[in-house]
Amino acid sequence: MSSQHYYSRFATIKDVPQQDLLNRIVNRVNDFNRRIRDLEEKVRNLTARVNTLDDSLLDKTNALQEDMQDLEEDLEKVRDRVANMEVDIKALNREKKKYVTEQQIDEIENYMDLMNPIQSSFATKKEVKEMIQEENGVPEKKIERVIQKKMDKHRKTQSNNKKGSQNSNEEW
């Protein structure tokens, strides 16, 4: 027997509203099942998207870590180069101190010009005495005074030059 025939045979007026109620309940359960399947599908889609975002974030984090490592290595190389340059600069400064400055060269030239027998007007005691005796009649004491003045003048010039070179050395 078919179920319709079974119901139609025994169905009464009271049974019709119950049947309608039962149909409504079945429809609601089916609707809830459909909604649950839809929600499950949405959850699966969201889970897939979260996993994709997770993977993407992990990839980006790894790339950033690699970039940071590269930057740290580059920074370390730069620090090493700067340290080497500082050592080289100190060595150059030490080496520079060994060389004569332009001012010191000028002072040496001045001393050489001052002491140059070709350009200077210095004369030995013997030469002065001979020149005076050739001229006749100049007393020996006067000759000695002239020589003494020349020597004093020469000493004074040397003393001033030494003070000047000491001052210039102190400046350095």
Alpha-carbon dihedral angle through residues 41, 46, 49, 51, given to the nearest 10 degrees: -100
Same domain for 8 and 90? yes
Same domain for 9 and 86? yes
Angle formed at CA 97 by CA 92 and CA 103, multiple of 5 degrees: 125
Do 123 and 146 meet the contact criterion of CB atoms below 8 Å apart? Answer: no
Question: Mean pLDDT of successive 10-residue segments in the chain (172 residues)?
Answer: 51 67 94 97 97 96 96 96 95 88 86 72 74 68 79 79 58 46
| CA gap 84, 78 in Å, rounded | 10
State percent of the chain over pLDDT 90.
Answer: 41
Tell me the residue range of the domain where 39 lies. 3-95
User: pLDDT tens digit string along 32-47?
Assistant: 999 999 999 999 999 9
- Which residues touch 161 (CB under 8 Å, ≥6 apart)? 107, 110, 111, 114
Q: Which long-range contacts (CB under 8 A, 24 or more apart) does 24-30 make?
A: none
Same domain for 91 and 116? no
Same domain for 114 and 86? no
* Domain-terminating residue out of 76, 95, 114: 95
The total number of structural domains that make up the chain? 2
pLDDT at residue 105 in the model: 86
* Domain-terminating residue out of 44, 71, 95: 95
Give the mean pLDDT of the chain. Answer: 82
* Domain-terminating residue out of 95, 117, 147: 95
Same domain for 111 and 78? no
Give pTM, 2 decimals: 0.40
